[in-house]
Each structure stands twice: as C-alpha cells, then as structure tokens.
C-alpha cells in the first residue's frame, strides 16, 4: 500500500471519481472518450496501490465498498476544489462552499432537524449540507472515520474503543400528545390517564423518547395499547393523520405538527423531556457551522416553553 502522497496516481483517482459520478464504467468511458479496458485497468491499479477494493463486483450494479465510499468523498473534495481553482484562474467568481456533513437517525423528528440546520442556511458564508440518514451505529462509525462533521440525535452516546464521540447538548422541550379531532376531543379532559384506553403510535424502543415514555407509563400505572411503533418519525405522524392513534411529538414543533398533519393537541407532559444533542468527534466544537447550530439551538428548543414560538410557516414537507 502506498504511504507517500507523491506515490498516489491522481489520474487513476480521477478515473475512479468519474466512474462513480457517471454511475458506470461504460458511462465513464463515454464521458472520458476512452476505451473500457483502459478505464477499468487504471481503476484496478488504483485499488492495488491502495490495497483495498473500491467496488463490490458481486452484482451487475456499480456499488462502492465502505473504503470506496470514503475514497470517493475525498476524491470529490479534491476534484471539486480543482474545478474551482480552474474557474478562479479564468476570472470566474469563486463558488466554493463550506461543507457540512450531517448524520441523523430516522427517528429524530425532521422538523426539529430542519430548524436546527437552518443556522447553516443563514450562515454568512455559502454552506453545502450533505445530509445522511442511517442507523445510529453506522453514523457513529462514520463519525469516527471523519465522514460526518456532526450527528444530530435525541440521546447522548458513550465513546466505544477507538470511536471517540463527544456530546454537546442542544436543548430540550416537553412532550406533547396529538390525535385527529374526534379522538383528541374524547381524550383531552382526562389526560394523561386517558392514555390508558387510547390506541398509541410510538417511536421504536431504540429511541430515548420511547425509553422515557415506557418509564413514565410504568410509574403512572398506564398499560399502553400500542397500535404500531416506528423507526421513521414522519411515518408515525402519517398514521396519526389517518386516525390510527395518539402519538407523541416534541412540544417545540407542536404548532407545525398540528397544522401539517391536521391533528390537535390532546395534552402535554412537562415532566417528560425530548432532549437533543450534537455529537462530534472533537471535545471542542471546531467546525464554524456546527458552532452556529449549537449557539442557535437553545432559542429554537427553549423559547417554546416561554410562550414564544420561533418556528415559522416555512416548514419542510415531512417532520
């Protein structure tokens, strides 16, 4: 395996980069005006020099291995910067953006994620957001390999072996329960004891909110009637919109959830909190956009409790 930068063949890396962007070796050959044996052999030489396979060749589709994905991300930065350099030399204005790679588990409410990431859209310099959804274990592994700058999660995590992670609290809010109007009207007066007989739509057991809910149910002698449980917070709310049951949501996005999914508030549990964390690979926040997100988060998540709803009408289509 090569160890010195001067031994890395950037032309081979370029062919690999084009092949991934084009989606196939054949398309890359057409784009580069080269024969397929030429491009294929150069990519194989790159793999040999790196001592890693970059493509999974077990199927007909062009699929990257984990190492291949990592190499492509670096190659994309290298050749995107090269393209910007050439544009600058031609006198074109620079379009270079700060890159922010964000990993988010599916169960984190998308409205919360969107509002936290709005700080990146308001950042004084251009920012390119690379948004990834995946299981928490994969996100943590990718963070350790520096493939993400930030994970937004509803729970803190512990460092594990070589995977050093640091939790930065962003804030918390109460938990509200919502349902379609007929169901909400029936359950509101006797809330929260009315949850005893109510059909419930809950997040999956792996989420911190679900663990807190289960603990609260036990402490209050409520045996929930669980209709369905979800990894995806948006799908949970779709079932709620359809009248399948009552569902919990962070109070910080209550108004938007009610408007978007045509549901009403049943009641709020102030003693139950939805917590949110920025998880990074560094003890101290270094990425300027992550710092901006951390600074603005308390306004988004705390001011709701003080009667100030900072969440405006500009919502994404799912939450």
pLDDT at 60: 65
Is residue 247 within 8 Å of 237, Cβ to Cβ? Answer: yes
Using pLDDT thresholds of 50, 70 and 90, give the confidence band for residue 216: very high
Lowest pLDDT segment from 115-124, 156-165, 221-230: 156-165
Q: Element (H or E) spanning 173, and its range?
A: strand 166-179
Task: State the Cα–Cα distance between residues 8 and 102, nearest whole angstrom.
Answer: 29
Residue appearing with tokens 């609260």: 216
- For 98-171+276-306, the fitting CATH number among 3.40.50.300, 3.40.930.10, 3.40.190.10, 3.40.109.10 is 3.40.190.10
* DSSP string covering 36-68: HHHHHHHHHHHHHHHTS--EETTSSS-EE-HHH
The percent of residues in the chain predicted with pLDDT above 90, rounded, is: 59
Task: State the Cα–Cα distance between residues 178 and 181, nearest whole angstrom.
Answer: 9
Is residue 251 within 8 Å of 304, Cβ to Cβ? Answer: yes
pLDDT at 167: 93
**5-89 and 173-273, same CATH topology:** no
pLDDT at 318: 45
Helix ranges restricted to H, 179-287 = 181-187, 208-219, 233-241, 254-261
pLDDT at 180: 98
pLDDT at 3: 76
Higher pLDDT, 17 or 158: 17
pLDDT surpasses 90 at 203 = yes
Task: State the Cα–Cα distance between residues 127 and 36, nearest whole angstrom.
Answer: 37
* Pairing assessment for the beta strands 55-56 and 63-64 based on DSSP bridges: antiparallel
Class of 5-89 in CATH: mainly alpha
pLDDT at 175: 96
Nearest CA-CA partner of 242 in 228, 252, 232: 228
- The model's pLDDT over 148-157, given as tens digits with 9 standing for 90+, comes to 899 999 998 8
Return the SS3 of 202: strand
Burial status of residue 219 (CB atoms within 10 A of its CB: 0-12, 13-18, 19 or more): exposed
Burial status of residue 301 (CB atoms within 10 A of its CB: 0-12, 13-18, 19 or more): buried
Per-residue pLDDT averaged across 92-121, rounded? 86
Homologous superfamily (CATH) for 173-273: Periplasmic binding protein-like II (3.40.190.10)
Distances (CA, A) of 123 to 115, 148, 150, 243, 287: 13, 19, 16, 40, 12
Using pLDDT thresholds of 50, 70 and 90, give the confidence band for residue 198: very high
pLDDT at 312: 36
Domain ranges, ordered by start, for the chain: 5-89, 98-171+276-306, 173-273
- The model's pLDDT over 260-277, given as tens digits with 9 standing for 90+, comes to 999 999 999 999 999 999
Per-residue pLDDT averaged across 118-129, rounded? 90
Residue appearing with tokens 């350790």: 144
Cα angle for residues 136, 138, 144 (degrees, 5° grid): 105
- The model's pLDDT over 224-244, given as tens digits with 9 standing for 90+, comes to 899 999 999 999 999 999 999
pLDDT at 145: 77
Per-residue pLDDT averaged across 279-287, rounded? 87
How long is the chain? 319
Higher pLDDT, 193 or 160: 193
């Amino acid at each position: 395996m090569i160890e010195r930068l001067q031994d890395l063949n950037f032309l081979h890396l370029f062919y690999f980069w084009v092949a991934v962007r084009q989606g196939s070796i054949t398309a890359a050959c057409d784009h580069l005006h080269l024969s397929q044996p030429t491009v294929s052999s150069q990519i194989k030489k790159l793999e040999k020099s790196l001592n890693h396979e970059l493509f999974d060749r077990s199927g007909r589709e062009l699929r990257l291995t984990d190492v291949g994905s990592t190499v492509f991300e670096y190659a994309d930065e290298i050749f995107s910067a090269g393209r910007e350099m050439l544009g600058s030399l031609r006198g074109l204005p620079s379009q270079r953006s700060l890159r922010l790679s964000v990993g988010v588990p599916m169960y984190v409410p998308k409205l919360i994620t969107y509002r936290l990431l709005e700080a990146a859209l308001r950042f004084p310099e251009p920012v390119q957001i690379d948004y990834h959804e995946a299981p928490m274990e994969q996100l943590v592994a990718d963070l350790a390999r520096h493939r993400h700058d930030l994970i937004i999660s509803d729970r803190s995590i512990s460092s594990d072996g070589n995977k050093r992670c640091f939790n930065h609290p962003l804030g918390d809010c109460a938990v509200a329960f919502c349902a379609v109007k007929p169901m909400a009207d029936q359950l509101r007066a006797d809330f929260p004891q009315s949850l005893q007989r109510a059909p419930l739509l809950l997040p999956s057991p792996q989420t911190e909110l679900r663990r807190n809910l289960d603990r609260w149910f036990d402490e209050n002698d409520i045996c929930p009637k669980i209709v369905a449980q979800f990894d995806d917070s948006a799908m949970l709310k779709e079932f709620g919109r359809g009248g399948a049951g009552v569902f919990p949501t962070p109070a910080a996005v209550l108004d938007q959830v009610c408007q978007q999914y045509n549901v009403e508030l049943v009641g709020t549990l102030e003693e139950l909190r939805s917590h949110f964390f920025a998880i990074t690979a560094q003890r101290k926040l270094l990425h300027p956009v992550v710092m901006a997100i951390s600074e603005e988060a308390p306004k988004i998540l705390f001011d709701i409790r003080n009667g100030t709803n900072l969440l405006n009408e500009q919502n994404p289509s799912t939450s």
